[in-house]
Structure 1
């Protein structure tokens, strides 16, 4: 009788472990797929999209910060590496983050680290290469998301900051 119960307990434990592992492994990719689908309305793949400031009525993602301007680049490196260029922005703070398809951070740079200089990086997938003159960021998946966050200290300063952020670009590297 005890052997019979132990068998059922072992089976239930094995199923629970598989479900747990599947959830932990798949949740980040599922969430990124959902976010990327929502952000596709902002701009096409491999192009920078500039969203208006978030309000309670207009939110593409859950709980965006109302004092940040967001620009995004959904990328697909299947055909070619991608170049991202961020020119200096007249804001007290900005940062660029690159995430792979499983939400892993591949790159982060902010205005302080950039020292007033443009940030120019090449996102590179498996087997791709770029000239040595450009900073290379290897991404573990061909698809992902680059997010530029810019602090807007007062709503009245948004127009000037928006002009600067529209110089940010994201395009296939030729």
Structure 2
């Protein structure tokens, strides 16, 4: 039995190392792929107000067909980014910012703002923002800002678009 103890212990340690390595690497790999796909489709540092999702057209796995999405893939390598989410009356809506490893760096919804817009500045720790700006500090330069608006029915997308298209993300003006 003792001659199997060493190889068995080595196998268990290798399995644990593989399991932990997969858990540690998976968020970065997932976000890198999602970021690249989104950036190819909508660009970077600009807000894209995407059409409603269908089974044939979905960039991200399992998006909700009841939500209208506006997405901004960002790269803070050139400086901070201003993000504004415009309210959509009588609808649930939210702004969520994901960092490069899929962690939520910021989230607010219409329930938090009581009908007002959300205006934030995304920046890394070493980037200065104007005094009074609502700075959301990110651990590194890349991520995704996502606005979601819950539709009561798919037919109202035209009316909702008039509001959501006032939302934006853009490089912060010096």
What TM-score range do you get, normalising by the shorter chain? over 0.9
CA distance in 1, matches of 2:12, 2:62: 37
Farther off after superposition, 55-64 or 161-170: 55-64
Partner of residue 12, structure 1: 11
- Asked if 2 retains the 8 angstrom alpha-carbon contact of 1:123 and 1:137, the reply is yes
Partner Cα distance (1:116, 1:98) in 2: 20
Question: By how many angstroms is 1:34 displaced?
Answer: 1.6
- d(CA) in 1 for partners of 2:54, 2:90: 20
**Number of equivalent positions:** 173
2:68–2:148 contact (8 Å) kept in structure 1? yes
The equivalent residue for 1:24 is 23
Partner of 2:55: 56
1:68 aligns with 2:70: no
**Structure 1 position 49, deviation (Å):** 1.0
> Partners of 1:10 and 1:91 in 2: how far apart?
60
Q: Give the gaps of 5 or more residues in structure 1.
A: none
TM-score, L = length of structure 1: 0.94
Partner of 2:137: 138
Retained in 2: the 8 A contact 1:45–1:76? yes
For 1:147, the equivalent position in structure 2 comes to: 146
* Displacement after TM superposition at 1:142 (Å): 1.1
Task: Map 1:150-161 onto structure 2 (within 5 A).
Answer: 150-161=149-160
Deviation of 1:156 after TM superposition, in Å, equals 1.9
1:91–1:151 CA contact under 8 A, matched in 2: no
Contact 1:95 1:149 in 2 (8 A): yes
User: How far off its partner does 1:96 sit?
Assistant: 0.4
Cα drift, residue 40 of structure 1: 2.0
Matches within 5 A, 1:57-136: 57-136=56-135
RMSD over equivalenced CA pairs, Å: 1.3
Q: CA contact under 8 A between 1:42 and 1:51: conserved in structure 2?
A: no
TM-score, scaled to structure 2: 0.94
DSSP-derived class of the 1:47 partner? coil
Could you give the per-residue CA deviations for residues 28-72 of structure 1, whole angstroms, max 9, x where no partner exists?
111111211221244211111111001122211111111100111
Instruction: Check whether the contact 2:124–2:139 (CA below 8 A) recurs between aligned residues.
Output: yes
What is the deviation of 1:91?
Answer: 4.5
